[in-house]
Structure 1
Amino acid sequence: MRLTDAAKKMLDGEQGAAKRLAMDSLVKFGDAYDAEEMVSIGYAHVAAGQPLYAGDMEQLEALSELGATVVVPTSVNIANADMSRGRLMHAPDKLVDLQRRSEPVHRRMGSDACYTCTPYWAGHWPTWNTHMVSLESTVTIFCNSVLGAKSNRDGYFAIYAAMTGFYPKMGYHLDENRRGTHLFKIEADLQNASDFGCLGYHIGLRARSGVPVIEGFARRPTLDELDAMGAAIATSGGSAMFIVPGVTPPYADVSDAFAGTSPEAIAVTSSDIAAVYAAFAPADDTRPSIVHLGCPHASMQEMREYAALLDGKRIHADVELWITTSRVVRQMAQEAGLSEVLERAGAKVLSDTCPIMCHLSRIMAPDPKHGLPAPAATRCIVVDSAKQAKYVRDTVHCDTFLTGTAEAVRSAIEGRLVARSGGVA
C-alpha cells in the first residue's frame, strides 16, 4: 500500500506507540481488501467502550494509556446505560458506574462524548465528499445517502482512523462502488416515518448488500423519514448506501445513479409495507411492558411530535414509555418545555443508550469479573421503528410489536397493542 510520508512516520513509531498501533492495524486492514492507498478523513464516529461487551472498555482505556488522541472531529456512539438517569431505566448501579468510566477517557482523547446513534442531530454534519468513518450503520447510511459523505460500515477500525486521520481507500470511498445496483419504484402510500422504516426494511431484504435507487415518492421525504428508511435498509440488509435521485448528492436523476442503463424497476406496494408490520405482531392478547420511541435517537422535530401526542395524557400504570435521544436534543427539549410535557404524562426521556444496547439485552457477554446481574425477562416492547423491531426481537428476546408513532403512544396510554392506522390488535 502506498503511504504518505505522514502515514509512514506513524507506522514507524515516530509519533508514538498509539499511532503506530493504529496505523499498523489500518495497513493490515487495507491490505486484506487490496486497498492501494489511504484517504484522509474529516470525521469519525467511534465506539463508546461498553462494559456489557467483554474487553471493550478495557481496550478503550488501553489506547488512552498509550497516549491516544483523535486528530479529526470525533463523536461517540451509544452506551449501555443513561449515565445520568440510570435508575430511571432500572439499569444496575454497577453497570452505570462502569459505563461512566468511558466518559473521561473520551474527553482525554478529544472526542465528543455525545453517546448517540444520530450525531448529526447533535451538530456533527459531514459535508459532501468528506471521507469519514463510522461503526454505527445508521450513521454510515445517513451520511452516505443524505449528506453525500463517504463511509463504510466500520468496526473498531473507526477509532484507529480517528487517531491517525487516515483510512484505506476501499468500499464506499471509491466512486465506482457508489452507483446503483437495484431500482425500486414506490407505489405504496407512505404516511409517516414508521412507514418509511418499513419501506427501508423491505428494500434491504431485496437489495441485500447492494445500493438501492429509490424513486416514485409522492413528495420529498423529510430528514426523519430518510433517517428511518436508511436505518431499516441497513438492518434487514448489508447496504451502507441508498440513492434517492434529487436528494442524494450528486445524483440528479435515475440515469446518474446508474451511470447509464437502469435495471427494470421493482415495484413496492402498500401490501409490502403491511407485510413488514405484520412480521412484528405478537398474539392479540399480548400486553406491552415497554413502549419505546426514538430509534434512531430522536430529532428535535420528533420530540415535538411526541409532546403533541402526549400533551394532557397519562401513561398506563402497567406500561413504561421510554423516549431515547441524544444529550444535545434532550437539553434542547428541556429548554423548549417539551420534556416537561413528556414527563408530566409519565414518559421517561433518556439519553446515551437504547433498549437493544442496555441491560435488557440477553446477548451481551460482560466480563464475569464485573459481577453484573443477568437481564430480567421482558414481556413485550412496542416500537415505531422497523430497525428497533428487528433488534429488540433478536437481542432482548421478547415479543415485539411494530406500529406507527401515534399508535405506539396510544399503546402506552391504553395499556394494549394499538395497530397502525387505528386498528386495535
Structure 2
Amino acid sequence: MQHHMQLSEEQQAILDGARGDTLARVMETLVRYGEIFGATTMVPVTSTYNHLVTSFGLKALTPVYELMDQLIQAGAASKQKFSADPRPLDPAVPSNILQNIVFKHFMYSKQDFYENQLRELGLMDPDAFTCTCYMDEVGNTPLMGEVLSWSESSAVVYANSVLGARCNRNSGIIDLMGSVVGYVPYFGLLTDEGRQADWVVEIKTSSKPEAQLLGSAIGMKVMEDVPYIVGLDRWLGELDEDARTYLKDFGAATASNGAVGLYHVEGITPEAVAQGRDLVRDGAKTYVIDDAELQRVYDSYPVVWKNPDARPKLCFMGCPHMSLNQLTTWTERLEAALAAAGRSRIVVPTVFTAAPAVIKRFEETPYAVRLKAMGVIVSYICPLMYMNNPLCSTMPVITSSNKLRTYTTARYYTDDEILEQITGGAQGAKGGER
C-alpha cells in the first residue's frame, strides 16, 4: 500500500507481511486510520492492559466475529490482556417474558459465543466486563503518561483526565487492533499540543454542581475540544475517592453529551496541577457556568416518554458503573430517606450497576445486606444495552445518568430527585413534574 507515515523497521515489516497476512491487514488499517487524522508516525502502546468497547453478542456484529476468528486462527492474540465493556444481560434485572425472548433469541443470541472469542484473544479475567475498568478493584488502572488503545468514551476521558494517561477517542475494534500489533497512530490526545485547552470554563455556582449536569453543560458547549475548568476545586478539594467518583460521572457526561476526550480541572487533575494555565491555548474561549446556566441546560432536556406523567417502572443507577464509594454512600442515603418517609423498602424497582469486581468487594461489607433489604438490585449489567431493547422505548425509566438519558428513552433526574422518587418522599414516585 502507498502511505505517507514514517514507520519503524518493525512496523514496516508487519505491514509488509513478516508476521502474516492478518497482522499486515491490521497494521494497514491502523496506518490508514492514522493518516486520516494527520498522523505521521506510530508509537508503542505502553499500558499493561487494554480495554475493549465491544462486549455484547449482537446478531448484527457478524463482521466482528469473523475478524475475531481470523485473529484467533492467525495466533494474533492481543499483546495485552484486556477488559471489556459490561455484559448486556443479567437475569436478576427485572424484565418480562417478551423482553427476555427479544434479549436472548434476537438481540444478544451470540453472547456466549462472543465471550469465548474474547477469552481466546486475551480477556484478563472471566468477569472483566465493565465500563469502569480503571477502578482499583478491577485492576486495569493506567499510569500517568502511558499510551493506551482504548475506545470506550467514558473510560477514555477518565484515563486522560484523572489519571493523565494518553489515549484518543478511538472506535470499536481499532482498540483491539492497536493492542494486537502493539502500536497506535500518533495524533490528537497523544500529543502535547493536542492536550492543550481550547476553552476556559469558569464555575460560578452557589453550591457544588451536579456532576452529570455540569458535564452535560460543558460537553454540549465545547463538543470535542479540551476544556480547562476553573473554580471546581472549590467544591472538590483534592483528588480523593469522592472527587474521583465525581469526575467519573462528570467526564462520562462530557463525553456523551459532547465528544470530550480530555478535560483539565485547575488544582485537581494531574496535568493541571503540574502545568496550570500553561495548558490553555492563546485565544481560548470562555464559558461561564452559574446556577441559571445549569438550570437552563436541565430544562432543555426533552421528555420522550409516551406519557410524560407516567409513574416510573424502573430506575437505573450506574452508567458508567458505580464505584464502591457510591454503593456505600447510596446505601446510607437510602436508609435515611426511607426512614424519613416512614418506609423500609423502595417504591420504584431500582438497579444499581457496578463492575463484577466492585460488587464482589461490596458484598464483603455490611452495606450489601442493608441495600438488599431495601429492595435494590445490584447488577453488573450495562443499562444502555438493556434500554436498547425496542420494547423499552415505551417504558418509563428514570436515571441520574446523562449518558443513559442521551442514548435511550430514560429520563434524567438529579440524584436528590431520584432519591425522592424511589423512596416515596415528598413527590412520591410521580414522574411528571420537575
**Same fold flag (TM > 0.5):** yes
* SS class of match (1:48): coil
2:116 pairs with one of 90, 101, 104 = 104
Name the aligned partner's letter for residue 168 of structure 1. Answer: P
Q: Give the aligned partner of residue 396 of structure 1.
A: none
Q: Give the aligned partner of residue 239 of structure 1.
A: 260
Contact persistence 2:204–2:289 (CA under 8 A) = yes
Name the aligned partner's letter for residue 46 of structure 1. Answer: L
Contact persistence 1:78–1:353 (CA under 8 A) = yes
Whole-angstrom CA distance in 2 between matches of 1:231 and 1:124: 18
1:216-241 CA-to-partner distances (Å, cap 9, x unmatched) read 12232611111111111111212211
Cα 1:49–1:117 shift into 2, 3 Å = closer
Q: Report the CA distance between 1:418 and its aligned residue.
A: 7.2
* SS class of match (1:324): strand
Name the aligned partner's letter for residue 60 of structure 1. Answer: M
* SS class of match (1:250): helix
Q: Give the aligned partner of residue 417 of structure 2.
A: 407
* SS class of match (2:229): strand
Pairwise mapping of residues 224-303 of structure 1 onto structure 2 (< 5 A)? 224-252=245-273, 254-258=276-280, 261=282, 263=284, 265-280=286-301, 282=303, 285-303=309-327
* SS class of match (2:312): coil
* SS class of match (2:134): helix
Q: Report the CA distance between 1:88 and its aligned residue.
A: 4.9
Q: Report the CA distance between 1:93 and its aligned residue.
A: 3.8
Contact persistence 1:76–1:112 (CA under 8 A) = no
Pairwise mapping of residues 151-162 of structure 1 onto structure 2 (< 5 A)? 151-155=167-171, 156-162=173-179
Does 2:222 align with 1:207? yes
* SS class of match (2:265): coil
Contact persistence 1:141–1:242 (CA under 8 A) = yes
Cα 1:4–1:145 shift into 2, 3 Å = same
Q: Give the aligned partner of residue 24 of structure 2.
A: 20
Cα 1:265–1:112 shift into 2, 3 Å = same
* SS class of match (2:160): helix
Deviates more, 1:39-48 or 1:164-173: 39-48
* SS class of match (2:408): helix
List runs of 5+ in structure 1 lacking aligned partners.
Answer: 363-373, 394-399
Does 2:364 align with 1:357? no
Whole-angstrom CA distance in 2 between matches of 1:49 and 1:17: 26
Q: Give the aligned partner of residue 309 of structure 1.
A: 333
Whole-angstrom CA distance in 2 between matches of 1:97 and 1:337: 37
* SS class of match (2:149): strand
Name the aligned partner's letter for residue 328 of structure 2. Answer: R
Deviates more, 1:402-411 or 1:275-284: 275-284
Pairwise mapping of residues 389-404 of structure 1 onto structure 2 (< 5 A)? 389-393=405-409, 400-404=410-414
Pairwise mapping of residues 343-382 of structure 1 onto structure 2 (< 5 A)? 343-354=372-383, 356-358=384-386, 360-362=387-389, 375-382=391-398
Whole-angstrom CA distance in 2 between matches of 1:143 and 1:408: 28
Name the aligned partner's letter for residue 255 of structure 1. Answer: R
Matched-pair identity in %:
24
Q: Report the CA distance between 1:142 and its aligned residue.
A: 0.7
Whole-angstrom CA distance in 2 between matches of 1:211 and 1:168: 20
Whole-angstrom CA distance in 1 between matches of 2:287 and 2:146: 31
Does 2:159 align with 1:119? no
Q: So what's the TM-score if we normalise by structure 1?
A: 0.85
Whole-angstrom CA distance in 2 between matches of 1:165 and 1:258: 32
Name the aligned partner's letter for residue 314 of structure 1. Answer: R
May I ask how many residue pairs the two structures share in their alignment? 395
Q: Report the CA distance between 1:27 and its aligned residue.
A: 1.5
1:30 pairs with one of 19, 31, 34 = 34
Does 2:70 align with 1:70? no
List runs of 5+ in structure 2 lacking aligned partners.
Answer: 238-242, 339-343
* SS class of match (1:133): coil
Cα 1:28–1:292 shift into 2, 3 Å = same
Contact persistence 2:26–2:181 (CA under 8 A) = yes
Cα 1:133–1:190 shift into 2, 3 Å = farther
Cα 1:137–1:378 shift into 2, 3 Å = same
Q: Give the aligned partner of residue 362 of structure 2.
A: 333
Q: Report the CA distance between 1:115 and its aligned residue.
A: 1.5
Q: Give the aligned partner of residue 416 of structure 1.
A: 429
Q: Give the aligned partner of residue 184 of structure 1.
A: 201
Cα 1:48–1:235 shift into 2, 3 Å = closer
Contact persistence 1:213–1:243 (CA under 8 A) = yes
Contact persistence 1:88–1:348 (CA under 8 A) = no
Contact persistence 1:141–1:240 (CA under 8 A) = yes
Q: Report the CA distance between 1:97 and its aligned residue.
A: 5.7
1:390-417 CA-to-partner distances (Å, cap 9, x unmatched) read 1223xxxxxx432232431332232614
Contact persistence 1:42–1:72 (CA under 8 A) = no
Deviates more, 1:138-147 or 1:242-251: 242-251
Q: Report the CA distance between 1:62 and its aligned residue.
A: 4.0
CA RMSD of aligned residues (A): 2.5
Cα 1:66–1:50 shift into 2, 3 Å = farther
